[in-house]
A and B are shown apart, each in its own frame.
Chain A
Amino acid sequence: MTCASVLHFTERGIFCPAGEFYIDPWRPVDRALITHAHADHARWGHRHYLATHGTVPVMRHRLGDITAEAISYGEKRKIGDATVSFHPAGHVPGSAQIRVEVGGEVWVVSGDYKLGPDGLCEEFAPVRCHSFISECTFGLPVFRWQPQPLVAQQILDWWQANADEGRFSLLGAYSLGKAQRLLHMLRDGPGPILTHGAVENVNEVLRAQGLPLPDTIRVTPDLDVKGHKGALVIAPPSAFGSSWARRFGQASTGFASGWMQLRGVRRRRAMDRGFVVSDHADWPELHRAITETGAENIYVTHGYTDIFARHLNEAGFNAQVVPTEFGTDEDEAEDAA
């Protein structure tokens, strides 16, 4: 059995012929294994879903009535001639890398990932394999994240300064993952935290699974906003500039994303502040993750794939670019990052 036959790259997505399943497919299929619940990975319309216990409830919340089965991290499952298992990816709560073994040949699909603990989601665990399919959203040497406590302090200082002026701090973040990570980072802040409905709905799903999130106040039409002056408000960036955001008056605006590392992107967002908080691996983390898999063949998907693959090849890996439809929505990719 040759390497390439464990997983194939097809028009519908990453396919395993031995188990007749797809991983994060972008067209409807019979059987889909899902790395995490973000919209570009967990799409609507598959007949059967398999994902971690942390991912399935969020998928149900987002996709409605689906046929889904949950699996634990590390649990081995035989599908056809393939053996699959899910391993923590550290991207968002419940996110996984998917290991596929066929006849002793091991491939791992990373999904989206970051290294190190963020205090909330299961920490990335390296999985030895022959071939590793890695994202590289931030695969450029300008992307290096600062330690989480440092960034948390920057956001807290900003919040405090706004609170001192009696202004709201309106912080934009993707509603699944980034928003909850920020809640955790900012749990000891100088005031209450208000949340947009899209964020609070995910909070409820995650709290029901026992995730320790701090108390939040859902922004509803009849909420007495003025009574919460100086509060932090977490909302998806799409809510900014809408009538929803107007109730907060002259709020200071911020956005939390890995893209905020670049001044140009920060300026395009036209927010007061950009905080570099990413749920994707930075440049050093990508290299560490790839090295720790021990894989010889690296397939890089969404991000700066051409550049990153060339760099890996010069570093002695056998790297190739694989076209996928993950993160094709610019807005979403930036928000999720």
Chain B
Amino acid sequence: MKRFAALFTQLDQTTKTLRKTKILRAYFESAPDSDKLWAAALFSGRRPKRAVNTTRLREWAAEQADIPLWLFEDTYAIVGDLAETIALVLPPPNRADDHSLTDMIARLRSLSALDESERKPVILDLWDGLDQTERMVFNKLLTGGFRIGVSQKLMTRALAQAVGRDEAEIAHRLMGDWTPDSTTWHALIEAEDASADLSRPYPFALAYQLDDPPDSLGSLDDWQAEWKWDGIRGQLILREGQHFTWSRGEELMTDRFPELARATDFLPPGTVLDGEIVAWDGTAPLPFNDLQKRIGRKTVPKKLLKEAPVILLAYDLLEHQGQDMRDQPLAQRRATLDALLAALPEDAPVRASPLIHANSWDDLAAIRAKARDHRSEGLMLKHRESPYFVGRKKGDWWKWKLDPLTIDAVMIYAQAGHGRRANLFTDFTFAVRDGNALVPFTKAYSGLTDAEFRQITQWVRKNTTERFGPVRQVTPHHVFEIAFEGIQRSPRHKSGVALRFPRMARWRQDLSISDADTLDHLHDLLDRYG
């Protein structure tokens, strides 16, 4: 644990990617194989199952710290991180143990075989042998949250450097359905037969937002345009008669979208498609809200399958006849994809996401302006010569989204943030005017600079009119321009609407609350775009 805690400390002590890579690389060059495997698992989001209920952990920590539970809870609300709060309140340790990371995780997992009452002495004993940082890292393993400012990409790069292999190859090896139990360091990273795992997806290629005018990209002839769908990015893998559906977050979602199973009836094995999973009304995607109902459920009731059936709108072909297609130019992959999907019947759960043809950038801009009519967020622009690259690469793929919808709203409640934003007010509730009343309709957390958050925090402290637990009601005074991507009717909200991706686009210090938009205007937007 000391080596891993030291790694954590070193990573935490720099904000520079280059330095982090170097630190992580040194770890992968020196730690024992089983620890390296666990480190790779943890940094790619593969966590051990939560072994202890966090409510118990809080109780035990408060008891050890000799403070009442409410005080622990209030403190946690301010610190914003449970693992850290526990580590900071516990009394100093009586021993200095040094178990390996693998050993520590084994101890932690053995807890699930015990009764809850038997778990407590084990945890207390483990805490008593760890210093403050080790405790925090251990608690993070224990509570199952392990985000410490190391991206999977950074980890992949460090690992690739440490073992002297190509980064893209390591990225591919790290994809898919492995856990430290199902494989070994050697099998995962070093063994030559990397195709052993049938379900293994390819790393997703990602696009950057286009901020410059599109004609800066050169000739339109070099570019392929598609709709940008508001669904779930997914990879559909058909191999040896089986199918697997992966999300971009590398979550296996095969069971959530049973409709896609039928793809094996229409498409040959050795096919891997990249596309967007959308709820489909037979001719067009349904609003994201309908898809949302499907996301949270591991098994899908019949009624929902009928109301919001999904399909894959495919836009790329990554594997064809068992061959990796990623080095071929997009135009060629697309031609093969179209040929493959052309013969599919109307009711197949896979369709080609249509290409959009235009004669000029101006024409294309006019088409993009109508994206909402097609239930789309805008356009994707992909270079015809581009390979299917790993991760984000500037220049090949661009998101050319529609400008968001906006509304000017009054801030009425504020709440402090968590983690990096603890002790700043960052979570706000906004209202529109309805006669003399203010009707809350959305929350927003992002969009302001740190300096602006500091400024508004000061203001909130001085202008709180009432407190409801952590929430402060403030004098209605400040107007913010709220940007959002979509609007839906929602009986759950007082205002009757729900926004998609609301955020603060601008702090309108030039407006007073009488300039804020009205509930009628909000309903108008709902009629037009909902």
Interface, chain A (partner B; CB < 8 A): 140-142, 144, 261-265, 267-268, 270-273, 304, 307, 310-311, 314, 328-331
- Is A265 a contact of B71 with CB atoms below 8 Å? no
- Cα distance, A271 to B70, chains bound together (Å): 33
CB distance from A122 to the nearest CB of B (A): 30
Nearest B residue (CB) for A250: B16
Q: What are 17 sample pairs from A and B whose C-beta atoms fall under 8 A apart?
A: A140-B74, A141-B65, A141-B67, A141-B71, A141-B88, A142-B88, A142-B89, A262-B84, A262-B422, A263-B84, A263-B419, A264-B418, A265-B423, A267-B419, A268-B420, A268-B424, A273-B13
| Chain B 448-472: CB-based contact to A (< 8 A → 1; otherwise 0) | 0010001001100110000000000
- Is A328 a contact of B461 with CB atoms below 8 Å? yes
- Is B12 a contact of A263 with CB atoms below 8 Å? yes
Question: B149 at interface (Cβ–Cβ under 8 A)?
Answer: yes
Partner pick for A264 among B71, B74, B422, B458, CB 8 A cutoff: B422
Interface, chain B (partner A; CB < 8 A): 12-16, 65, 67-68, 70-72, 74-75, 78-81, 84-85, 88-89, 149, 418-424, 450, 454, 457-458, 461-462
CB distance from B167 to the nearest CB of A (A): 25
- Is B458 a contact of A265 with CB atoms below 8 Å? no
Which of chain A's residues have a CB closer than 8 A to the CB of B81?
263-264
Partner pick for B458 among A273, A314, A329, CB 8 A cutoff: A329
CB distance from B422 to the nearest CB of A (A): 4
Which of chain A's residues have a CB closer than 8 A to the CB of B418?
264
- Cα distance, A221 to B497, chains bound together (Å): 58
CB distance from B7 to the nearest CB of A (A): 15
Partner pick for B88 among A261, A304, A311, A330, CB 8 A cutoff: A261
Which of chain B's residues have a CB closer than 8 A to the CB of A264?
79-81, 418-422
Partner pick for B78 among A270, A271, A304, A311, CB 8 A cutoff: A304
Which of chain A's residues have a CB closer than 8 A to the CB of B458?
328-330
- Is B80 a contact of A272 with CB atoms below 8 Å? no
Which of chain B's residues have a CB closer than 8 A to the CB of A267?
149, 419-420
CB distance from A147 to the nearest CB of B (A): 12
- Cα distance, A262 to B75, chains bound together (Å): 11
**Apart from A142-B85, A264-B80, what are 13 other A-B pairs with CB-CB below 8 Å?**
A140-B74, A140-B78, A140-B79, A141-B67, A263-B12, A264-B419, A267-B419, A268-B421, A272-B14, A307-B75, A310-B70, A329-B458, A330-B424
Which of chain A's residues have a CB closer than 8 A to the CB of B422?
262, 264-265
What's the dominant secondary structure at chain B's contact region?
A: helix
- Cα distance, A310 to B74, chains bound together (Å): 11
Which of chain A's residues have a CB closer than 8 A to the CB of B420?
264-265, 267-268
Query: Which of A140, A271, A328 has most chain B Cβ within 10 Å?
Result: A140
- Cα distance, A135 to B71, chains bound together (Å): 18
Pairs A-B, 8 closest by C-beta atoms: A142-B88, A264-B419, A264-B422, A264-B420, A267-B420, A268-B420, A140-B75, A307-B74
Which of chain B's residues have a CB closer than 8 A to the CB of A272?
13-16
Partner pick for B454 among A142, A261, A273, A330, CB 8 A cutoff: A330
- Is A330 a contact of B79 with CB atoms below 8 Å? no
Which of chain B's residues have a CB closer than 8 A to the CB of A271?
15
- Is A141 a contact of B75 with CB atoms below 8 Å? yes
- Cα distance, A153 to B419, chains bound together (Å): 28
- Cα distance, A24 to B479, chains bound together (Å): 34
- Is B450 a contact of A268 with CB atoms below 8 Å? yes
Partner pick for A314 among B14, B68, B462, CB 8 A cutoff: B68
Which of chain B's residues have a CB closer than 8 A to the CB of A331?
454
CB distance from A197 to the nearest CB of B (A): 23
Nearest B residue (CB) for A304: B78
Which of chain A's residues have a CB closer than 8 A to the CB of B13?
272-273
- Cα distance, A144 to B422, chains bound together (Å): 18
- Is B71 a contact of A311 with CB atoms below 8 Å? yes
Which of chain A's residues have a CB closer than 8 A to the CB of B149?
267
